[in-house]
Structure 1
Amino acid sequence: MRKVEVVPYNPQWRDAFAREKQQVWQALGDNVVAIHHIGSTAIPGIYAKPIIDLLVEVKEIAKIDQYNLSMEALGYEAMGEFGIPGRRYFRKNNAAGVRTHHVHAFEAGEPEVAKHLAFRDYTIAHWEDAQQYSDLKRELARKYPYDIDSYMDGKHEFIQQMNAKAAEWRESQKIDWYTP
């Protein structure tokens, strides 16, 4: 059973992402379009589970499966779609069995890509909402220290609200979110 751990922001997460990005890009080859840092570790100043989330945009999602052995060589476990159609998901633990990374691969142009990037960028641009999210995660981690499902369920409604705000904000910014 894994402990739900939420810790203060660590500026070293950015470097950890950059190192992992290079390795994952090499492992997945020329199918990669872009690799983005997403999740709470990509949002400066907020509490997060200390797990680096990478969003990989690829030309053809079906080709990702042929790279499972390359990802396993980096320490990742291939999980297939893992509940989200059109995604390929990988997770990585360190030598002590502690989760360190998640990789979410989507075909470039999939709506999930824009959703994740908009959430990240919206929370970076809107400190008050980011702090509310941070406070909620701390509260849920205290309430459900060994129940990741309840922790995730507790964030669901807030994340849905944030996704709606982020989508509206994204539209108002007139940004091309698919440019790597």
Structure 2
Amino acid sequence: MLGLPKGKVFLIAWTAEWEKEFIREKTQIENELGELILAVHHIGSTAVKNLSAKPIIDIGIELKDYQHGSECVQGLERLGYAYRGTNILPDRHYFSKGEPRTHQIHMFQTGSLYLEKILAFRDYLLKNDAALNEYQELKVKLSQKHEKDKLLYTDEKTEFINSILDSLGFN
């Protein structure tokens, strides 16, 4: 199942379908955007086997040049994405697909520290069962506590995420 209605927070148990959906989407994005992009990454909790997640496929795209993000808008619109701008996070172009939302694209210039942190956190969870289990428990607790407030759900995960990133030499 994919799709998270606006203003809701709920988690779905990890499924291999998420990886298959990412691969389908990645292929379409690469075919549509071609040489404007360097890499397409599966990010977020749907990218981590055995981790429950909000049912949205998060995609990280590396650009050769941040300014190329505006050149990607029409191509991504042809794939059903809506451009949401750059104002939410610094140095990021943001796109969403579907209502309820099924996919999100976070587009950064290659070398972006923010993208490096996202990838490092994902990779750490993939290799560390204890951290994965602790994060799973935290996410379940917070999703029940903040089922109608995505911002609080996200904010209260920050301390855990930052502790992992600190241990990896970030922050």
Q: List, as ranges, runs of 4+ consecutive aligned residues in structure 1 with deviation greater than 2 Å.
A: 26-29
Q: 5+ residue gaps in structure 1?
A: 171-180
Give the deviation of 1:112 after TM superposition. Answer: 1.8
Contact residue 121 and residue 164 of structure 2 kept, 8 A: yes
1:106 pairs with one of 105, 108, 114: 108
Output the CA distance in 1 between the equivalents of 2:89 and 2:31. 24
TM-score by length of structure 1 reads 0.86
Percent of pairs with identical residues: 37
Give the deviation of 1:143 after TM superposition. Answer: 1.0
Contact residue 13 and residue 51 of structure 2 kept, 8 A: yes
Contact residue 28 and residue 70 of structure 1 kept, 8 A: yes
1:35 pairs with one of 40, 43, 46: 40
Contact residue 8 and residue 148 of structure 2 kept, 8 A: yes
- Structural mapping, 1:12-161, within 5 Å: 12-93=17-98, 97-161=99-163
State the superposition RMSD in angstroms: 1.5
1:9 pairs with one of 14, 17, 20: 14
TM-score by length of structure 2 reads 0.90
Give the deviation of 1:113 after TM superposition. Answer: 2.3
Give the deviation of 1:48 after TM superposition. Answer: 0.7
- Structural mapping, 1:156-171, within 5 Å: 156-165=158-167, 167-168=168-169
Output the CA distance in 2 between the equivalents of 1:136 and 1:82. 28
Q: 5+ residue gaps in structure 2?
A: 1-5
